[in-house]
Chains A and B, each alone.
Chain A
Amino acid sequence: MSKAKLRIILFFGLIITSPWFITLSVNSQMINYTLPPRLIISNQHFVDNINTLRGELGPTNMISKLLVNKPVFFAKEVFQRYFESFDPSFLFFKGDPETTKSSHLAGAIYLSFLPFFLYGAYKNKPLILLLIVLAVPAAFFAPHFETLTRIPFLIGLTYLTALGTQKAYEKDKRIFSILVAFLFFEILRFFHNYTVHYPWFLAELLNKT
């Protein structure tokens, strides 16, 4: 099998077994597949917060306006959402806060992806820049740790993981086998949680709504 073919198989194999893909696909009836609300600089809550903080600093002057202002605080909100794409809890443990988009018993991807991803990134450094860019769109939408806006990022991350998996297979088959064994265990665990425990959380959510 050629390297390119192996890479493609690995890539698509990792995508279709990823928690985010499975959850979004299976729950497609329950999910609203439109873009979530955008971050807006003139949002009233935002403005109120800034006024409160300026009030706490004392009489409004140049310094309080420089320290607490809409552009800077808006930029901070954007940065916060940007960094959420790289948050370990979102990626490996909890995923999206919305129960229809994540079981909360796994992250968006498996923890076993991490060593393969790191190796793939190390061997393909220019692609890290692509990953950094792919995380940008999600930064401008209001919901925190939202999965739909992070699909391009997750795809890029999985591609690097596939590259790393392929390289690891070529480099050291023993270590590769151990890591793949962990990955299979994680996949099994995810499927167990998804089929046995997740329906209870979904039922609870549906009962509330």
Chain B
Amino acid sequence: MKFKAGDFLVIILIFTLSAVIRFYKLDDFRCLNWDEASFGYNAYSILQTGKDEYGTSLPMEFKSVGDYKYPFYVYSLVPIIKLWGLSEFSVRFFPSLLGSIAPIFLYFITRKLLQKRVIAFFSALALAISPWHIQFTRAGTEGGIAYTITLAGIYLLLKAVIEKRGSFVLPAIIFFLSLYTYFGERVFIPLILLTTVFVFKKEIIAKGRKLAKTAILTLFLLVPILLSVVSIGQGEKFAKTTIFGYRRPDEYVFELKAQGDSNPTVNIFHSATLENGLSFINHFLNHFSPDFLFVKGPTEDGRQYIWGMGMLYLTDIVLIIFGAAFLYKSKISTKYKKFILFWILVSPITSAITRDPVHARRALALTAPLSIITGAGMYYLILIIGKLKNSFIKILLASVFAASFIYFVAFYFASYYVFTSKRTAVGPSGWQCGYEEVVTATQKYKGSFNKIIIDTSYQGPYIFYLFYEKYPPQKYQRQARLLGNRSDTLGEGGGYDNYEFRAIYWPEDRYLTKTLFIGPPERLPEKDIKSEESQILEKVYPYNNGFLFHIVETF
């Protein structure tokens, strides 16, 4: 496969389009969420002290709120924060950059598999404008970074397998980099490797000697990962997120027996293994549900979905059907078709093994193979319409499809910038807007109170205070403590200086004197703020959402 001037032009075009979409209004649209704040602050801490927020030197996992984040994204932020300081833009720059590059890797993968530049261009275009891919490459999510690295690894792996002189060393290094970026890749990469071995076993066996070098390198690189897998942190992460770590409550079994089950029937029809298995299949199939893909998306999590549409454009249904038909009929190697099919089938497994019924970020791996099929569909549709003899029908079909496509893309951007932001800005399952304004407002009162209690019902306020105050990491490391971190829930930072982060219970807390309370109206209800003991000093209004936090002092 030779690199031509046309390829260069395509790369520039696709990268420019991807970058414009992913960088436009990057730091003033969706508010920083607690994961992003944690990545940013830990990178700041590494930059300043060489340690994470808890004082661990150059860790290979970041404890954060008990979710033990993987290291690559944090370390990649260090030079960026050195250059631009600790800010929302710094945190989001790298994921957006890699997200803009991902379509280029897909272009080369598609060219390798389908042998047509036009289809490769359309596939890259589909990924560049994919709502699903944009959603997780504009915000600072490690999933988007990891998947771009994985795509690079898949391209190099295919080169190594298909071409005579291909080397397996580089894809191995790339994949290991991805393994240190996001949890999901530790499930997805072994699956895609198994897929490659299954589909291309003859080619791989023929390259036996070259694989020996890679095998030695793999063993060397695998040791720290194996050690981390058995670490307490990763064990906790595994237990908290997957169905394997979930222990169903005894009350559930008592309820079954109260309704008429006996021990044998519980073991046969309601065993944990059976129900976990059915759960897995349910979660797996949900990722192919038209509701998830084209209609509503994952509505339970405000950070995952775009209001009023699914993870893909509605017109993508037509393109995917045409793409599947094209691949079925085409003379492309059956192995390449099988590879794409198995890629689609293994992609949702990372998400299916977790407790959420459906999760767009964990199933991000689906975006690339679906984009390949969408790209093939664009090509085939144009081919079919072009072959029609009746000009009127030709123009009509082309116009209807083009108009529909333009409409859905326009609606997507309207929803992204207007409808979704209004509906998902606040709260723990939204973009957690308001904290920047709250932290700014707190500075006016910080020196006047011995104790400031900040409510934690909106999740993670401590990291926002650290981030926006740019609190010196060396000082925080001496005070850092994680509270409430259990096997089934994440924790919260306990506090620093005169800050205490916990749930506010006003019926009791009102009796604490000379204390400042910061929390949402439901925790500090105005009607219960009695003038003889307390007063509302300020109501904090985030950018367009009405008041979110009360700042209340007690006398």
A residues whose Cβ falls under 8 Å from a Cβ of B: 53, 56-57, 66-67, 72, 76, 79-80, 83-84, 86-89, 92-93, 111, 188-189, 192-193, 196-197, 200
Please tell me if the beta carbons of B422 and A56 are within 8 angstroms of each other in the complex. Answer: yes
Determine how close the nearest CB of chain A comes to the CB of B276; give it in whole angstroms. 14
Contact of A193 among B269, B278, B418 (CB under 8 A): B269
- Roughly how many angstroms separate A56 CA and B416 CA in the complex, as a whole number? 12
User: Which residue of B269, B288, B296, B419 contacts A53 across the interface (Cβ within 8 Å)?
Assistant: B419
Is there an interface contact between A88 and B419, defined as CB atoms closer than 8 Å? no
Question: How far in angstroms is the closest Cβ of chain A from B121?
Answer: 28
A57 and B418 form a contact (CB under 8 A)? yes
B414: chain A residues within 8 A (beta carbon): 57, 67
A72 and B404 CA atoms in complex are apart in Å by 10
| Contact indicator B419/A56 (Cβ below 8 Å) | yes
User: Which B residues lie within 8 Å of A189 (CB)?
Assistant: 269
B314 / chain A contacts, CB cutoff of 8 Å: 76, 79
A93 contact from B261, B282, B291, Cβ within 8 A: B282
Known: A88-B288, A89-B286. 17 other contacts (CB 8 A): A66-B407, A67-B414, A76-B295, A83-B294, A83-B295, A87-B289, A88-B285, A88-B286, A88-B289, A89-B282, A93-B278, A188-B269, A192-B265, A196-B260, A197-B259, A197-B261, A200-B259
Interface residues on B, range: 20 to 34
Q: List 8 A-B contacts (CB under 8 A).
A: A66-B410, A76-B308, A76-B314, A80-B291, A80-B296, A86-B290, A88-B286, A192-B269
Q: Is the CB of B295 within 8 A of A80?
A: yes
What chain B residues lie within 8 Å of A87 (beta carbons)?
289-291
Q: With A192-B265, A197-B256 in contact, do A89 and B418 touch (Cβ < 8 Å)?
A: no
Docked pose: A92 CA to B289 CA in angstroms? 12
A196 touches B418 (CB 8 A): no
- Max count, chain B CB within 10 A of own CB: residue among A87, A92, A193: A87
Interchain CB contact (< 8 A) of A111 among B281, B294, B411, B419: B281
> Interface 1/0s, chain B 255-296, versus A by CB < 8 A?
010011100010001000000001001100110111100111
Measured CB to CB, the nearest residue on chain A to B274 is: A189
- Bound complex: CA A188 to CA B268 (Å): 10
Please, which residues of chain A bring their CB within 8 A of the CB of B256? 197
Measured CB to CB, the nearest residue on chain B to A83 is B290
- Minimum CB–CB distance for B256 against chain A, Å: 7
Q: Residue-by-residue, is B357-371 near A (CB-CB < 8 Å gives 1, otherwise 0)?
A: 100000000000000
